Amino acid sequence: MEIVILPDSAEVGRVAASVIADVVARKPDGALGLATGSSPLAIYDELARRAAAGELDFSRMRGFALDEYVGLDYAHPESYHAVIDRTVTKPLGMDPELVSVPDGLAQDVPAACAAYEAAIDAAGGIDVQILGIGANGHIGFNEPTSSLASRTRIKTLTPKTRADNARFFDSPEAVPTHCVTQGLGTILRARRLVLVAQGEAKAEAIAAAVEGPVSASCPASVLQLHEHATVVIDEGAASRLH
Ligand code: F6R
């Protein structure tokens, strides 16, 4: 695992964006794995800047989001369908037809999860997966105790994650209780992983992920099993590393 420690969030975004840009330049019809949340916004800003400057063309890239809330209308501004459209698809100039988000409104959730895995396979797999990390060590919405071999499936959000995400909703109770998320096994199949984290609130999770044992109690520790994983963090997020 490669660890890159940088002075601030904008720099984290720039360095992580260069990893993504290399993949897009080399394989303009490849597949990106997309995280939502605050952490990757600096990456998307930098990629959007480069796309606007004509340095990168995302029009043939596929995108696969990591996760989606269950039961939240896609018209809701905090559904990950809406968030991905607003923060990734439009600013990067991706083709909406080529961008997929797990189906949190499916009648048959297990069938929709299997179809999502099949769509990733049909696209030839994910070339580079962008990841944030929860304060409890989750990646995607794979909360602690998730199986290291898990695939896309429905999960219950922990009280900690619902509280952390309450800032996006009108009230803590409005945060959905369940999600559909790519599994840890799904994430590990991506050819390259780039995890970003900023701020001291993530320091403990980063230390557990990078220096702790590989364990379901810190799902992000599975990055230690991947041969091409890069962790790009600021000094706050690095503050608990030895
Ligand atoms: C969202 C996701 C989550 C977030 C994590 C950190 O698609 O996969 O794992 O990356 O909850 O969220 P932020 O970046 O908002 O702190």
Residue 40 alpha carbon, nearest atom of ligand 1 = 14
Domains delineated in the chain: 2-234 (3.40.50.1360)
Amino acid letter at 160? K
Within 10 angstroms of residue 10's Cβ, the number of other Cβ atoms is 14
Tell whether ligand 1 has an atom less than 6 A from the beta carbon of residue 136: no
Pocket test residue of 9, 36, 38 for ligand 1, highest count of atoms within 8 A of CB:
36
Encoding tokens for residue 227?
A: 């041969």
Distance from residue 129's CA to the centre of ligand 1 (Å): 13
Q: What is the pLDDT of residue 52?
A: 98
Q: Give the residue numbers annotated as catalytic, written as ranges.
A: 67, 136, 138, 143
Q: What is the reported pLDDT for 163?
A: 95
Q: How far is 125 from 236, CA to CA, in rounded Å? A: 33
Ligand 1 center from residue 15 Cα (angstroms): 19
Q: What pLDDT is attached to residue 60?
A: 98
Task: Count how many Cα atoms sit within 13 Å of the Cα of residue 109 in the half-sphere of its side chain.
Answer: 17
What pLDDT shows up at residue 80? Answer: 98
What residues contact 45, with CB distance under 8 A and at least 6 apart? 13, 91
Please tell me the distance between residue 39's alpha carbon and the centre of ligand 1 in angstroms: 7
Nearest CA residue ID for atom 8, ligand 1: 140
User: From the CA of 68, how far away is ligand 1's center (Å)?
Assistant: 11
pLDDT at 187: 98
Number of Cβ within 10 Å of residue 86's Cβ equals 12
Is any ligand 1 atom within 6 A of the Cβ of residue 35? yes
Please report the pLDDT score of residue 115 as a whole number. 98
228: closest CA among 60, 44, 22?
A: 22
CB 61 within 8 A of CB 32: yes
Q: List average pLDDT for each run of 10 residues in the chain, which is 242 residues long.
A: 96 98 98 97 98 98 98 97 98 98 97 98 98 97 97 95 94 96 98 98 98 98 98 98 96
